[in-house]
Chains A and B, each alone.
Chain A
């Protein structure tokens, strides 16, 4: 490891006047930029030779951890493998070189892909039509709620300002509702970890715009009361919103549209194998049931005969506006490649295998880690820390220690229902050998917690950076290089 290159920011490697590139000879004559558009001083860019730049970023990337490095059981995030064929298709110049303002006659193939993709998602989810334009999962949630608000407004029903979310919901649900100007009401979970229908019943009235649900929920449990819940919500005039974060175990097995959901988003970067997190960008398609299509944002693609055309305005203006173009098109393209690669037959294998893997880990560890809800889970489950609480070793410590053994940590301290939550989602990709090794390591950490607790409490020890001070980072964040150099 070259510490000078790794340990410094690219700005600190800068030498005034150094260049990595020579501009070719000017063959087009000299054109002055008008004085009023010129900057007064040079942009403060780092000045480095090409090799320094390459080494700097190569060293940085070697300290990154992704699905391609190792097991990444981050709960509710569905960190599945991103197949290489997705990248090959997305890199085809016929797609990669498209311009967003290209006339539709010159990009019929690209428009067909958009059209067919939204049809594929409709078939998978049981909803009528999708927009692929939202740029991320949370953006999809916001779009979905804007659609719901527009629906109520179109009926002149202006008193529906509340959104009900379970206490186990992803934090994005209340956040999206708040951004959409809606009020958030929490519905409790039962001791079995599912929505308390009696509590919900008491919350339903004519001010409820929607109920947002994740199914299976964040504890990895299927909401069995969903037929009753959707009936109650629809009877009171509200709509059902499906948070697609946990769609993976449902693929090809069970459809949100059939469960009575009206609007949903999908995280392509979770369920449909596109790059995730810092490696994004994400994509959050939004689907609606029949009767709500007119509220979907434009642009969209319409098929007329065997031609595809771009629709840029709705018949009615409901102001559901999420962007001028077709979202993160190249991400959608990767997801479409994944769907076609698996096909109708094999996509059915995703859910059962993800479910089997999660249950396998859960059962193999429940004697040393506390399992608060001991039923069969779907694609993920939650431990409430180590079973033996006397060692003082917390979920945070276990997560940090996992890094020493070359694993990404699970999602920790979420959902908020359990104080020491540790949420594990293996995905369908992992082999039995990988799962067995992971189980062995978690058992070893449980033993270390008893024998050498200090080693666990001060972990990680083998990573480029040791235990970071997250309290200091939250209280005194240093967000710019200038702040750092002062």
Chain B
């Protein structure tokens, strides 16, 4: 069973947002890494890129498929997880520990549209 963590925000396309002040860490959920299978490549944005909610900010390639990463929030990328460049399999080892990008949020009210852990767990059970 896929792991879901309390206190994070979740999107329907299986990204999570971990908020720290005006910043947020964005990654894919444990459910997503499980569905994707062995991840072989992560296409990440660059620092200073602007990301928009509901727009793609990169892609994850696994042996099964390539999937777009959809940003749940808008803002400016302040950091990307460079460890994923050489070790994309970190997403399979712990998707919540290994975030993909850190964003300076431009509109925190966007978080209201996302799911909490309970609602997200229900979504996963339905799929």
Contact in complex: B35, A475 (CB < 8 Å):
no
Mask for A456-486, Cβ within 8 A of B = 1, else 0? Answer: 0000000000000011001100000000000
Measured between beta carbons, the chain A residues less than 8 angstroms from B89 are 471
Q: Which of B33-85 contact A (CB under 8 A)?
A: 35, 37-38, 40-41, 61, 63-65, 67
Compute how far the CA of A419 lies from the CA of B63 in the bound complex, rounded to whole angstroms: 13
Query: Is there an interface contact between B38 and A471, defined as CB atoms closer than 8 Å?
Result: yes
Contact at B35–A413, with CB atoms within 8 Å? no
Residues of chain B within 8 A (CB-CB) of A474 are 40-41, 61, 63
Q: How far is the CA of A475 from the CA of B84 in the complex (A)?
A: 12
C-alpha gap A311/B35 in the complex (Å): 52
Q: How many residues of B contact A (CB 8 A)?
A: 12
* CB proximity of A362 to chain B, nearest CB, Å: 22
Minimal Cβ-Cβ distance residue in A for B65: A416
1/0 contact string of A193-225 vs chain B (CB within 8 Å): 000000000000000000000000000000000
> How far apart sit A413 and B89, CA to CA, in the bound complex (Å)?
19
A475-B65 in contact (CB<8A): no
Instruction: Evaluate contact between B35 and A470: CB separation under 8 angstroms.
Output: no
State A81–B59 Cα separation when bound (angstroms): 38
- CB-CB < 8 A to B40: which residues of A? 471, 474-475
State in angstroms the CA–CA spacing of A195 and B88 once bound together.
34
Which chain A residues lie closer than 8 Å to B65 at the CB level?
A: 413-414, 416
Cα of A413 to Cα of B66 in the assembled complex, Å: 11
- Within the complex, the shortest CB–CB distance from B55 to chain A, in Å, comes to 12
Please state if B35 and A471 are interface contacts (CB–CB under 8 Å).
Answer: no
Closest to B36 in A: A419
A414 to chain B, nearest CB (A): 8
Q: Is the CB of B38 within 8 A of A413?
A: no
- Least CB separation from B63: chain A residue: A470
Known contacts A413-B65, A470-B63, A471-B89: A419-B35 contact under CB 8 Å:
yes
Of chain B, the residue at the smallest CB distance from A418 is: B127
CA distance A414 to B63 in the complex (A): 12
Across the interface, which residues of B come within 8 angstroms of A416, CB to CB? 65, 67
For residue A475, which residues in chain B have a CB less than 8 angstroms away from its CB? 40-41, 88
CA–CA, A475 and B65, complex, Å:
14
Residue of A nearest to B40 (CB): A474
In whole angstroms, how far apart are the Cα atoms of A23 and B2 in the complex? Answer: 68
A413 to B61 CA separation, bound complex (whole angstroms): 13
In the complex, what residue of chain B is closest to A419 when comparing beta carbons? B35
Which of A413, A416, A419, A475 has most B Cβ within 10 Å? A475
Tell me how far the C-beta of A87 lies from the nearest C-beta in chain B, rounded to whole angstroms: 36
CB contact list, A415-429 vs B, under 8 A: 416, 419
CA distance A475 to B35 in the complex (A): 19
A-contact bits for B72-112, CB 8 A (1 contact / 0 none): 00000000000000001100000000000000000000000
Inter-chain contacts of A471 with B (CB < 8 A): 38, 40, 63, 89
Q: Which residue of B lies closest to A475 (CB)?
A: B40
Whether B41 pairs with A413 at a CB distance below 8 angstroms is: no
A474 nearest in chain B by CB position: B40
CA distance A168 to B88 in the complex (A): 27
Give the residue name and chain of the B residue nearest to A470 (CB). Answer: B63
Residues of A within 8 A of B88 (CB): 475
List of A residues within 8 angstroms of B35 by Cβ: 419
Whole-angstrom distance between the Cβ of A440 and the nearest chain B Cβ: 28
Complex-state Cα separation, A419 to B65, whole angstroms: 10
Minimal Cβ-Cβ distance residue in A for B92 = A471
Q: How far is the CA of A471 from the CA of B38 in the complex (A)?
A: 7
In the assembly, what is the distance between CA of A474 and CA of B35, in Å? 18
Instruction: For the complex, give the distance between the alpha carbons of A416 and B35 in Å.
Output: 10
Taken together as a complex, chains A and B put the C-alpha atoms of A471 and B67 apart, in Å, by: 16
Bound form: Cα–Cα A470–B89 in Å: 13
**Chain A neighbourhood of B64, CB < 8 A:** 413
From 367 to 413 in chain A, residues with beta carbon under 8 angstroms from any chain B beta carbon are: 413
A474 to B41, CA, bound (A): 9
Nearest residue (CB) in A for B38 is: A471
- Name the residue of chain A whose CB is nearest to the CB of B86: A475
Bound complex: CA of A413 vs CA of B38, how far in Å? Answer: 13
0 or 1 for each of A135-150: is its CB under 8 Å from B? (1 = yes):
0000000000000000
Nearest residue, chain B, Cβ from A395: B64
B31's nearest neighbour on chain A, judged by CB, is A419
State how many angstroms separate the Cβ of B127 from the closest Cβ of chain A: 8
Contacts of A419 in B (CB 8 A): 35
The complex places the Cα of A471 from the Cα of B36 at a distance, in Å, of 12
C-alpha spacing A403/B88, complex, angstroms: 30
- The CA of A474 and the CA of B66, in the complex, are separated in Å by 12
| Residues in A whose Cβ lies below 8 Å from that of B61 | 474
Interface centre among B35, B40, B88 (most CB of A within 10 A): B40
A54 to chain B, nearest CB (A): 36
The 3 closest A-B pairs by CB, nearest first: A474-B40, A413-B64, A471-B38
18 contacts between A and B (CB under 8 A): A413-B37, A413-B64, A413-B65, A414-B65, A416-B65, A416-B67, A419-B35, A470-B38, A470-B63, A471-B63, A471-B89, A474-B40, A474-B41, A474-B61, A474-B63, A475-B40, A475-B41, A475-B88
B residues sitting closer than 8 Å to A (CB atoms) are 35, 37-38, 40-41, 61, 63-65, 67, 88-89
Residues in A lying within 8 Å of B, measured CB to CB: 413-414, 416, 419, 470-471, 474-475
8 A-B pairs besides A419-B35, A471-B63 with CB distance below 8 A are A413-B65, A416-B65, A416-B67, A470-B38, A470-B63, A471-B89, A475-B40, A475-B41
